[in-house]
C-alpha cells in the first residue's frame, strides 16, 4: 500500500519559495492499494496534484471526506474526474449530530450558484454519496456495517474532536498486513476520555496500525491562545503515536505561516519527542508530492511476548544474583495494547497487594512493550541475554539494585511460577489502567487470575 500526498497544508493554500520543500496546497491524499484500488482522502487544493495517479476515466474512485471546511473541499469543483461520464465515484462524508447537512447537501451547496456555475448533479460522472454519523461513527443506512470494502482494502472510520465534527479514516490491506490512520483536524486536548479511548482502540484494531498520520498544526506554546480551533500539537502526536504502537508517525495539516525552515525544525523535534518516549518508530512531516510506502509490521503479539519475556528473565537472573528483594509491578496500558512492568524494591510495594507500588516517584525502573527492545530506554540492549540485561541493570540502576539486595524466598518461589507461565505463552498482569473489560488486548489476560495467585505482600503502608 502506498500513500501519495497531494497537499498537506491546513486553513488555506500558500505560495512562495519558502514553501518549496513541504508545499503550499491544502489537504488531499491518495491511498493506492496493491491491487490497484484508489482512495482519495479530502479534496483540498492539492487534489489535482493526484490526477496522474488516478488511472483512466473508467477506473472507479472512492473519496473519503474528513469534514466540509473549505480547506478540505475547495479543490472539488474543478476536479476533472467529476466531469468524466465513464467515471464511477463514491464520496463518503459525515452527518453531524443535528442530522444536517448530509454529504449530498453539503457538496451541492458548494457546487452551485453563486459559488460555482456547474451543479454537482450536472457534473456528469456516475456519482453516489454515503454518510457516516459524526456522533458515533455508524454507517447511516447500514448501521451494522463494520467497514467499507474497496477491492482488497477495508475502510473504517472514527469521529474525532473538532468544531462541527470530523472523521478520522483507517485503511487496512489484510493481504499485506499494512494499515494507515489519517487523522487530520483533531484537537486531542479537547477530546473527552471516551473519545480518546475510542481513537486508541480505532488505531489498535483489528491490529496496531502501521502508520499514523495526525494533525500537528501547533507547537505547545501556540495551542494555549488557540484552544478550540480543532488542532493538536507535536507532543500530542508523538504521545498518541507511541501509545498506539505505530511503526511510522507522521504530521500533517501544517499551518500556512510555517515555512520550510520552521517545519524542518519541527520534524527534528518530533523525532526527539518519540525517542524520549522510548520508541524507535520512524517519524516524518508530510510533504506535498511525497510517496510513502506502508508495510506490514511483525506480528505484535510475538514481538511483545519476546521482549516482555526478556524483562522477566532479567529479573529472575537478578534474583539468582542475590537481589531477591526486587519486585515487579506488571500491568496494562490505558489502551489495552501494552504490557508494562516496573521493577522496584519490596519496601515500595503495598503490604496488601504484592504488585502495586506505593510511590511511583520513588526508585523504580519501568518498561513498556511499546518501547520494543529498547529496554528501559537503553539503545545497546538489542539481542542481550538475561544475564547481560541483569548486569546492565545493576550498573545503571545502582540505587534500585542496592535496595533490592537480600533474600526473599517466598517471593522468589512465586516468581518462578511467573517465569513458567511466561514460557508457555502467557504474560502476567496484576492491574490494568484499561477499564473496558469487553475488549481484548494483544496479550492473554491470565496474570493475577486463576492461573497465578497474587504475589506475597510488600513492606509498604
CA–CA distance, 319 with 339 (Å, rounded to integer): 22
314: which residues sit within 8 A by CB, 6+ positions away?
375, 386, 389, 390, 393
Distance of CA 284 to the CA centre of its chain: 14
- The reply to whether 160 and 266 lie within a common domain is yes
Within-domain flag for 442: no
Within-domain flag for 443: no
Domain enclosing residue 134, as ranges: 2-293
Within-domain flag for 454: no
Q: What does R_g of the chain's alpha carbons equal in angstroms?
A: 25
- The reply to whether 25 and 167 lie within a common domain is yes
Q: What is the pLDDT of residues 293-303, one digit of tens each?
A: 998 755 556 67
Within-domain flag for 274: yes
> Which segments within 266-325 are labelled E, that is strand?
282-285, 291-293
pLDDT at 442: 30
Q: Are 261 and 270 in contact (CB under 8 A)?
A: no
State yes or no: pLDDT of 180 exceeds 70: yes
- The reply to whether 424 and 364 lie within a common domain is yes
Within-domain flag for 396: yes
- The reply to whether 315 and 280 lie within a common domain is no
- The reply to whether 282 and 339 lie within a common domain is no
- The reply to whether 89 and 185 lie within a common domain is yes
Q: Pick from 21, 33, 26, 29: which is nearest to 11 by CA?
A: 26
pLDDT at 441: 32
Q: What is the pLDDT of residues 375-422, one digit of tens each?
A: 998 989 888 889 999 999 999 999 999 999 999 999 999 898 888 877
Within-domain flag for 448: no
Which CATH number covers residue 225?
A: 3.60.15.10
Task: Point out the domain boundary residue: 293, 325, 356.
Answer: 293
Average pLDDT, the chain: 87
pLDDT at 447: 39
Q: What is the pLDDT of residues 325-345, one digit of tens each?
A: 999 988 877 666 678 899 999
State yes or no: pLDDT of 186 exceeds 70: yes
Q: Are 245 and 339 in contact (CB under 8 A)?
A: no
Within-domain flag for 321: yes
What's the distance, Cα to Cα, between the start and end of the chain in Å? Answer: 54
| Confidence class for position 146, pLDDT limits 50, 70, 90 | confident
Number of domains the chain contains: 2
Mean pLDDT of 205-224: 83
Q: Are 127 and 36 in contact (CB under 8 A)?
A: no
State yes or no: pLDDT of 428 exceeds 90: no
Percent of the chain with pLDDT over 90: 61
CA distances from 229 to 213, 217, 273 (A): 19, 10, 23
Task: Point out the domain boundary residue: 249, 266, 293.
Answer: 293
CA distances from 16 to 1, 99, 105, 214, 258 (A): 32, 41, 35, 25, 12
Q: Pick from 432, 420, 418, 421: which is nearest to 328 by CA?
A: 418
Q: Are 266 and 359 in contact (CB under 8 A)?
A: no
Percent of the chain with pLDDT over 70: 90
Mean pLDDT of 240-246: 92
- The reply to whether 28 and 157 lie within a common domain is yes
pLDDT at 448: 36
All three cell numbers of 352: 496488601
- The reply to whether 316 and 418 lie within a common domain is yes
CA–CA distance, 152 with 175 (Å, rounded to integer): 8
Within-domain flag for 313: yes
- The reply to whether 105 and 17 lie within a common domain is yes
- The reply to whether 237 and 331 lie within a common domain is no
Task: Point out the domain boundary residue: 274, 293, 312.
Answer: 293
- The reply to whether 313 and 285 lie within a common domain is no
- The reply to whether 212 and 307 lie within a common domain is no
Amino acid at each position: 500500500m502506498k500513500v501519495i500526498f497531494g497537499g498537506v497544508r491546513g486553513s488555506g493554500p500558500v505560495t512562495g519559495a519558502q514553501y518549496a520543500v513541504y508545499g503550499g496546497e491544502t489537504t488531499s491524499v491518495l491511498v493506492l492499494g496493491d491491487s490497484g484500488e484508489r482512495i482519495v482522502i479530502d479534496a483540498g487544493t492539492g487534489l489535482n496534484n493526484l490526477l496522474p495517479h488516478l488511472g483512466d476515466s473508467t477506473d472507479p474512485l472512492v473519496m473519503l471526506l474528513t469534514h466540509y471546511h473549505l480547506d478540505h473541499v475547495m479543490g472539488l469543483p474543478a476536479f476533472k474526474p467529476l466531469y468524466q461520464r465513464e467515471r464511477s465515484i463514491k464520496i463518503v462524508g459525515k452527518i453531524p449530530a443535528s442530522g444536517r447537512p448530509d454529504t449530498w447537501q453539503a457538496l451541492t451547496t458548494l457546487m452551485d450558484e453563486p459559488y460555482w456555475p456547474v451543479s454537482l448533479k450536472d457534473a456528469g460522472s456516475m456519482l453516489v454519496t454515503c454518510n457516516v454519523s459524526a456522533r458515533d461513527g455508524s454507517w447511516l443506512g447500514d448501521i451494522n456495517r463494520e467497514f467499507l470494502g474497496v477491492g482488497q482494502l477495508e475502510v473504517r472510520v472514527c469521529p474525532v474532536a473538532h468544531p462541527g465534527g470530523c472523521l478520522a479514516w483507517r485503511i487496512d490491506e489484510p493481504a499485506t498486513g499494512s494499515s494507515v490512520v489519517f487523522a487530520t483536524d483533531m484537537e486531542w486536548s479537547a477530546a473527552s476520555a471516551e473519545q480518546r479511548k475510542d481513537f486508541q482502540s480505532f488505531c489498535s484494531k483489528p491490529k496496531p496500525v502501521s502508520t499514523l498520520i495526525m494533525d500537528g498544526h501547533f507547537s505547545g506554546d501556540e495551542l494555549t491562545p488557540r484552544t478550540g480551533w480543532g488542532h493538536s500539537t507535536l507532543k500530542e502526536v508523538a504521545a498518541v503515536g507511541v501509545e498506539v504502537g505505530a511503526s511510522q508517525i507522521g504530521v500533517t495539516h501544517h499551518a500556512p505561516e510555517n515555512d520550510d525552515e520552521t517545519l524542518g525544525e519541527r520534524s527534528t523535534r518530533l523525532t526527539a519527542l518519540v525517542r524520549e518516549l522510548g520508541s524507535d518508530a520512524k517519524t516524518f512531516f508530510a510533504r506535498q508530492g511525497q510517496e510513502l510506502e506502508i508495510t506490514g509490521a511483525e506480528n505484535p503479539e510475538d514481538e511483545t511476548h519476546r521482549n516482555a519475556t526478556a524483562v522477566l528473565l532479567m529479573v529472575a537472573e537478578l534474583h539468582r544474583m542475590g537481589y531477591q528483594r526486587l519486585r515487579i509491578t506488571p500491568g496494562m496500558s490505558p489502551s489495552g495494547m501494552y504490557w508494562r512492568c516496573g521493577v522496584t524494591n519490596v519496601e515500595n510495594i503495598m503490604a496488601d497487594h504484592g504488585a502495586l507500588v506505593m510511590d511511583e516517584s520513588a526508585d523504580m525502573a519501568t518498561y513498556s512493550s511499546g518501547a520494543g527492545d529498547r529496554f528501559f530506554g537503553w539503545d545497546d540492549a538489542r539481542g542481550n541475554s538475561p544475564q547481560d540485561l541483569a548486569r546492565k541493570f545493576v550498573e545503571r540502576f545502582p540505587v534500585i539494585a542496592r535496595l533490592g539486595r537480600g533474600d526473599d524466598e517466598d517471593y522468589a518461589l512465586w516468581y518462578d511460577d511467573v517465569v513458567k507461565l511466561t514460557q508457555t505463552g502467557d504474560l502476567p498482569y496484576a492491574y490494568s489502567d484499561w477499564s473496558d473489560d469487553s475488549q481484548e488486548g494483544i496479550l492473554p489476560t491470565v496474570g493475577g487470575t486463576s492461573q497465578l495467585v497474587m504475589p506475597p505482600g510488600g513492606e509498604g503502608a
